[in-house]
Amino acid sequence: MVDKVLILDSDTSLLRCVAEYLEARSFEVIRSNSGSDALRLLMREKPDLVVMDVEVSDMPGWTALARVREVTDIPLILLTGKSGEADKLRGFSMGADDYVTKPFSFAELTARVQAVLKRSRKTVRKSRKTARFGETQVDFRKHEATRGGEVIPLTPTEFRLLEALASRDGDAVSENELIKEVWDEFRQEETAAVRRYIWMLRQKFEQDPSEPQWILTVRGYGYRLVLEDTNGEDDQSD
C-alpha cells in the first residue's frame, strides 16, 4: 500500500523539493501552495497524512489548520519557522500530531511522517473497552469521551495518551513509556510533549486543572489516571 501525503506550503521551491524527496521514497504526494486549494484536495483525494506550513499566503496564520481540523482528524504535521513553546502548544492544542521547525532535513521530516503514520494505525488495546473517572465515560471502541451525554472533543494524540493512561488500570506510567506508546521512540527526546498534552487533557477533564483529581502527577516518574472502574468491563447500569 502506497501512503498518500498532502503537502501545503507557500514556498513553491521547498514544496517541490520535499515532494520529490518523499516520492523517491515511495510516497504518493499531492502538492498545494494555498490553503483553500489544499482543503479541496483534502476532501477529494483523502490523503493518509497532511504536512502543512502554519503560514499560507491566502489565509491568516493558523486558519488553515483550524479548517482542516473542522472536517477531519487525519494525522497532521506542522511546518513552521517558529520554535517557541507557545507556538508548539498552540499547534498541539489545535490538533497537530507533530511539529517540525524550519529549516529541517528532509530525512528528519520523512522519519516523522513514517512515525506519525505508524502511530495512527496502531490497533487499540483490547484489554479495556471503557473507562470512567468522575462524570467522564470513555468508550475506546467508539473512540469517544463523554460527560453528561456530551462528547468531549479530543485530538487523535490526546485520545492515544488518554488510552495509554487508562490501559494501566490506575497504575502509574513513566513519561518514557508514554512517549514510546503515544509518540514512538523517534520522539523520545521530546519529554515536554507529554507534559503539554497532560496539561491539555486536564483542561478538558478536570474541574480545577491546577488541582487535578483524576490525571495525577507521580513526582519524578510520570502520571496515572484515577479510574472508578478497574476491570475495563462495560457498565451495565443506567
Query: Is 64 within 8 Å of 149 (Cβ atoms)?
Result: no
**For the chain, first and last CA: distance in Å?**
44
pLDDT at 224 over 50: yes
Average pLDDT over every residue of 196-215: 94
- The listed range with the strongest mean pLDDT (54-63, 92-101, 174-183, 184-193) is 92-101
Average pLDDT over every residue of 120-140: 74
Sheet strands side by side (includes 76-80): 28-32, 4-8, 49-53, 76-80, 98-101
pLDDT value of residue 102: 87
**Residue range 4-120, CATH number:** 3.40.50.2300
Cα(215)–Cα(149) distance, integer angstroms: 21
Read off the pLDDT band of 124 (50, 70, 90).
very low
Sequence-ordered list of residues with C-beta below 8 angstroms from that of 72, at least 6 positions apart, any chain: 42
Percent of the chain topping pLDDT 90: 43
Residue ranges covered by each domain of the chain = 4-120, 130-225
Average pLDDT over every residue of 38-49: 92
Mean of the per-residue pLDDT values for the chain?
Answer: 85
pLDDT value of residue 125: 43
**Residue range 130-225, CATH number:** 1.10.10.10
- Of 28-37, 47-56, 113-122, 167-176, least confident by mean pLDDT is 113-122
- Residues 76-110: tens digit of each pLDDT: 999 988 767 788 888 888 888 898 988 899 999 99
Average pLDDT over every residue of 9-14: 91
